[in-house]
Amino acid sequence: MLNPWNFFVFVLFIICGPLGSNQVEVHVCDTTNSNNSFIYCNGPILDAVNYHSLYNDSKEFVDMPLKDDPQIVYNAWRAKYGNQSSANLNKSDVQAFVNQYFSAAGTELVVCTPDDWQEKPPKLATIADPKLREWAYKLNGIWKQLCRKIDPAIEQHTSRYSLLYVPNSFIVPGGRFREFYYWDAYWIIKGLIASDMYNTTRSMIRNLASMVDKYGFVPNGGRVYYLQRSQPPFLAAMVYELYEATNDKAFVAELLPTLLKELNFWNEKRMTDVQMNGKSFKVYQYKTASNVPRPESYRVDTQNSAKLANGADQQQFYQDLASAAESGWDFSTRWFSDYKTLTSIETTKVLPVDLNGLLCWNMDIMEYLYEQIGDTKNSQIFRNKRADFRDTVQNVFYNRTDGTWYDYNLRTQSHNPRFYTSTAVPLFTNCYNTLNTGKSQKVFDYMDKMGVFTYPGGIPTSMSQESDQQWDFPNGWSPNNHMIIEGLRKSANPEMQDKGFLIASKWVMGNFRVFYETGHMWEKYNVIGSYPQPGSGGEYDVQDGFGWSNGAILDLLLTYNDRLFVPENFVNTTVTPSVESTTKSAPKYAKLPWVLVFAFMIRQLFNY
């Protein structure tokens, strides 16, 4: 059914014709999957709120529950303002309208204590260093602050919420990320498993599975405005990690049909052909179906599109922005044709090495899980698929000259040889012949040559200093650092395993120090300088909490439970930092004896 606003846009479109655009607008949510798209995904209220900058972060408004049914609120707006453009409205009137008809953002989610939470999880008790063990217990304590549950009554009244209903409690990343997120959940789950929280892990996996059953894929996050895009596919990996920890075959059998369905989404909606050396290969790419501003970033998206050159394809621009958001890397010079400016974004022209490495892992995991439940037929099918696809990844993404994997650009028909942490994802997902122990060495040597190991706080996302994007230098992110460490650790090369440990020491000690200096775990870290800090850049303030950072650290503390030690006088841990308030700006603190850390790490290395 056509709501009045869609009808209005439709009529406008007919009257005015294709004003520089030649495709129909594809909204991020529509009447087939939500009853409130004209409030949260498009329409005059969303536009007015953003036009008048009622909130610094556009996400605030689209997370506010309605106090009445969407059609009633919409009609009230029309009765008051007719079809006046946002520019003709008065800011305080718009604010008064929002106050009258909307509740505060996030109030539909309630804080919970996970039923399997315990103060001192047995696995964390095995951490040898008392300071690190104490820290691990504190991080374990943060799960209670990040646990959320949706009031079951909401399931009956979904149209008043942008929130996607899920039945079980779950752990959120934190800060503005107040609902579930897809790829974040993998590292959260690594941390939950380290904290012996298998029930919460199962609950989170079942929530994501319920999304696949309902929508055919896992949306980026738990809101209607994420219904046209996914995120890096880690659901199978979550099931795998839980199975390795619990040996729960019944759970695997329950989830396998859902995992299959999710893989079909990537095969049917995100696959493309590429010709190389006279051969054709089928590979995956990020390509969301929407071509309008992202509601949660409506203001910045429209502001940025205003900077496009005359005649540029605005709808293509919006699709490339949303596709970069689907990659999890929003934003990075990796997606920009000039490696500097956001307006040159061309995500849909890039074949991403990390996504393909991940799908390769998905096939490997499917083979393994089917085998575990005794389904040799399906296991064999996936063994063959994975073997073929591993060849595809080598052919399309591996660069023999440089000894590493690169994104492939369809426009330039060449590899992008700049360093991005995504280079190591095929290593992490074992998407190569692991008998070839020289391969991990080559990837390491490439990264070494690019100078990425010279920073005290970990590995930066790229070496690109020409932009202020958050998935670039000097920010290091937990998932990327964790995947590089794990890629080296899981290689069959002892020398590379030791390198993995060294990087882990840097990442863990950097996070440790910032935690005791600021009282928080952060979504990203600035890895340069004489000491690390919370990261910066991008389109919103750095967020604390923080799900995947906590998870990656807990996993590493456990992996290296008898090898990691805090040097003397590293940071004063006497003060128990507050973990409640949100610090928005990077605080200042004294310089650190990093030389001690390095000396210590070298000692560690030769001890083992």
Ligand X SMILES: *[C@@H]1O[C@H](CO)[C@@H](O)[C@H](O)[C@H]1NC(C)=O
Report if residue 417 touches ligand X, rule: CB under 6 A.
yes
| DSSP code per residue over 345-390 | B-GGGEE-HHHHHHHHHHHHHHHHHHHHTT-HHHHHHHHHHHHHHH
Gap between the Cα atoms of 70 and 241, Å rounded: 41
Are 542 and 523 in contact by the 8 Å Cβ rule? The answer is: yes
Out of 326, 517, 523, 555, the active site residue is 523
The site string for ligand X over 220-259 (x = CB under 6 A, - otherwise) reads ----------------------------------------
Our CB check for ligand X shows the closer of 267 and 578 to be: 578
Find tokens 């950097």 and name the residue: 510
Cα-to-chain-centroid distance, residue 120: 29
Residue 251 has a CB neighbour count (10 Å cut-off) of 18
Report if residue 494 touches ligand X, rule: CB under 6 A.
no
Out of 330, 407, 472, 555, the active site residue is 330
Cα-to-chain-centroid distance, residue 501: 24
Report if residue 399 touches ligand X, rule: CB under 6 A.
yes
Site for ligand X in 128-167 (CB under 6 A): 158
Cα-to-chain-centroid distance, residue 356: 16
Our CB check for ligand X shows the closer of 417 and 593 to be: 417
Report if residue 371 touches ligand X, rule: CB under 6 A.
no
Residues in Cβ contact with 595 at an 8 Å cutoff, skipping those fewer than 6 apart: none
Interface segment toward ligand X; rule CB under 6 A; list 38-46, 182-190, 367-375, 567-575:
567-575
| DSSP code per residue over 295-349 | GGGHHHHHHHHTTSPTT--HHHHHHHHHHHHHHT--S-GGGBTTSS-GGGB-GGG
Cα-to-chain-centroid distance, residue 472: 15
Report if residue 559 touches ligand X, rule: CB under 6 A.
no
Residues in contact with ligand X, total (CB under 6 A)?
Answer: 22
Residues in Cβ contact with 170 at an 8 Å cutoff, skipping those fewer than 6 apart: 147, 148, 149, 180, 185, 200, 203, 204, 207
Strand (E) or helix (H) holding 149: strand 147-150
Interface segment toward ligand X; rule CB under 6 A; list 356-364, 395-403, 527-535, 552-560:
395-403
The site string for ligand X over 285-314 (x = CB under 6 A, - otherwise) reads ------------------------------
Report if residue 19 touches ligand X, rule: CB under 6 A.
no
Report if residue 574 touches ligand X, rule: CB under 6 A.
yes
**What would the two tokens of residue 520 be?**
């928080």
> Of 23, 56, 100, 454, which lies in the binding site for ligand X, with binding defined by CB under 6 A?
56
134 is catalytic: no
Our CB check for ligand X shows the closer of 52 and 482 to be: 52
**What would the two tokens of residue 317 be?**
């621009």
Report if residue 414 touches ligand X, rule: CB under 6 A.
yes
Report if residue 33 touches ligand X, rule: CB under 6 A.
yes
Our CB check for ligand X shows the closer of 26 and 260 to be: 26
Gap between the Cα atoms of 118 and 126, Å rounded: 15
Report if residue 581 touches ligand X, rule: CB under 6 A.
no
Report if residue 590 touches ligand X, rule: CB under 6 A.
no
213 is catalytic: no
> Of 280, 401, 581, 585, which lies in the binding site for ligand X, with binding defined by CB under 6 A?
401
Catalytic center residues: 330, 523
Residues of this chain that bind ligand X (CB under 6 A): 33-35, 56, 82-83, 90, 92-93, 115-116, 158, 199, 399, 401-402, 414-415, 417, 572, 574-575
